Amino acid sequence: MKLKFPYLYISFIVSLAILVILSFLFHKRLNSHLRYTSQFKDSYTIIMELKDLGQHLAMLESHSRAFLLSKDSSFLPLFEAERDSVYTHIDSLKTLIADNSDQMRRFLLMRSIINSQVSMYSRSISLVDMEDPEALNVIIQRSNSLMKAFNDESLQIQRAELHQRDEMLKTKEFYEDFYPNFFNTISIWAGVVTLISFFFIHREVRMRTRYQAELEKRLQELNRSNSELRQFAYIASHDLQEPLRKIRTFSDKLVYKHQHEIDSETKAVLGKIESSAQRMQELIHDMLNFTSLVTKDDEKSEVDLNKVVTDVLEEFADQSRQMHAVIKWDTLPEINGNQDQLYLLFKSLFDNAFKFAKPGESPVIKISYKLVEGNSDEDDVPKGKNYHRIVMEDKGIGFNNEFAEKIFMIFQRLHTQQSGYRGKGIGLAIAQRIVTNHSGIIMARGMINDGATFIMYFPA
């Protein structure tokens, strides 16, 4: 299906794309900001934890040496409290550094140094009663060396954190410079697209308002035309038929009263008057049928087409018997429609088939049925629906296929009165109107001396 207003769809798609891009970038930028904030906070916390850990290790060393020098047992609870604080800070650091493999490697080495320090301090306290100054001196020297090693590893971890924080700060500053300009550019484009879309939508609304006014004007003209058509139908059904009835009545009286006095030529003239008046009445009757189909919207129900065809053939029974007609039809479906109109449809088609049968040959009429899918290879009907395809074929005189569309025009005859065929040029117009009233399609195909085919599609 072709888009009627492609620029509206394009502007909508572009606006939607810009909105999605802005939402995605905003979401990404917000996540980056939250991540940077979290990393800055973790980095600051790691540095503070390292400083606190260094202070607690220094206090641990201070309390152990104070006990060694004074042998005052009051320093031991302080020593144990500082030792517990050291391990608490170690656990905190492990949690903070867990996601950084390089820092975790340094942390594990630092923790090993701290464990050795604590073990060394504890050992020095246990040796205080052994009066072994040399051993204590070795322990103190070893503890000093471990403390230096701890400070080196702690400094490396802090430097790594500061370097990582500097890199994040550079990235953050870059995006802080980039994103505002980017967002401004996108916002300007969004504003331009919005203005363009508003212009097109405003123009479309104005056009549709104008079309609506024109449509209402045409609707009023159509209602007036339909009113005039109904008045014309009333006049045709009463005022025009009354003079015809009088012509036929007085003609009959004239023939009856003076049948022994008038000559054969006069009788022939009176016969032509009677025949012409009768034909005029039939034309008026068909015209009333056609106008009623245009102006009247009859109620619809499920209609069995098999019964409709049977009823129509009963009306043509005498004519069919006299002409030895051969009529065959498939089992037809039930469709949603108006039974009277569908009866008139098949009556018009059968009447057309009998009228234009080949002289001296029996009419052969066949009706076939198939349920088809719209827009298939062989059926030119709208896509997306199923249709009842009903084909009526006859083996009559046919017609030139170049008149396939012209044949449905009202009062359009392909044969003259002198040809001997008594068609009035309205039956197929009635048939097309009825199919249209049922949201269907009718098409004609023909070949001279090889019959006519009428293809009807009704929504399934």
Beta-carbon contacts of residue 229 (< 8 Å; ≥ 6 apart)? 291, 294, 295
The C-alpha torsion from 128 through 133 and 134 to 137, rounded to 10°, is 70
Domains annotated for the chain, with CATH where assigned, are: 6-198 (1.20.120), 298-459 (3.30.565.10)
> Cα dist. 117→83, 113, 128, 189, 366 in Å?
10, 6, 17, 65, 111
> Residues 61, 147: contact at Cβ < 8 Å?
yes
* CA nearest to 458, candidates 296, 295, 298, 300: 300
pTM of this structure = 0.49
- For 343, the token pair is 């009866």
Q: To which H or E segment does residue 40 belong?
A: helix 6-70
Strand-strand pairing, 301-304 and 441-446 = unpaired
Burial grade of 133 (CB within 10 A; 0-12, 13-18, 19 or more): exposed
> Residues 433, 290: contact at Cβ < 8 Å?
yes
Digit-by-digit pLDDT tens for the chain (460 residues) are 444 556 666 766 777 777 777 777 777 777 776 777 777 777 788 888 888 888 888 888 888 877 777 777 788 888 888 888 888 888 888 888 878 788 888 888 888 888 888 888 777 777 666 566 676 677 777 777 878 888 888 888 888 878 877 777 777 777 666 667 767 777 777 777 777 777 777 787 888 888 888 888 888 887 777 777 667 666 666 666 777 777 777 777 777 777 777 777 777 777 777 777 777 777 776 666 666 665 555 678 899 999 999 999 898 888 888 888 888 888 899 988 888 888 888 888 888 888 888 888 888 889 999 888 766 655 566 676 888 989 988 888 877 777 667 777 655 555 444 444 454 557 778 888 888 888 888 888 888 887 888 888 988 8
